[in-house]
Amino acid sequence: MFKFALGVLVAVGIGAFATKPSQTDLEDEIRARLLEEIAAQSLESDDPAILALTFACKAGAQTCAELIRAGITVDYDDRILYSVARLEFLDTHASCVGVFSQFVCPGGIRKDN
């Protein structure tokens, strides 16, 4: 039984190491989520400036996503079995863990106090 449990732990460790997301994977994930958020924005607003910005972003989503991405600070730390990323944008931040080919951000996006 002990050998089986040890074998399972070794297999999980090898799987985690082999499927740990890279910094390129993180950049791809950020870009995809930005494009999703841009597509989901409503064109209804009482503020003409917000409405114009939203319309411009929807018209050129790739360019808008690149501009927003340029303002996001990313600290990526490659660990042995997983990776850790901290993202900051204006007054918000998120701490994420990358394991088994995906990033998870426990706590989501939080405002800085």
pTM for the whole structure: 0.76
Residue type, 98: G
CA distances from 38 to 3, 20, 58 (A): 51, 28, 6
Place of tokens 């900051």: 88
Query: Residue 53: pLDDT band by 50, 70, 90 thresholds?
Result: confident
Alpha-carbon distance of 19 to 14, in angstroms, equals 9
Dihedral angle computed from the Cα positions of residues 59, 60, 61 and 67, in that order, rounded to the nearest 10 degrees: -140
Whether pLDDT at 40 is above 80? yes
State the pLDDT at residue 111: 83
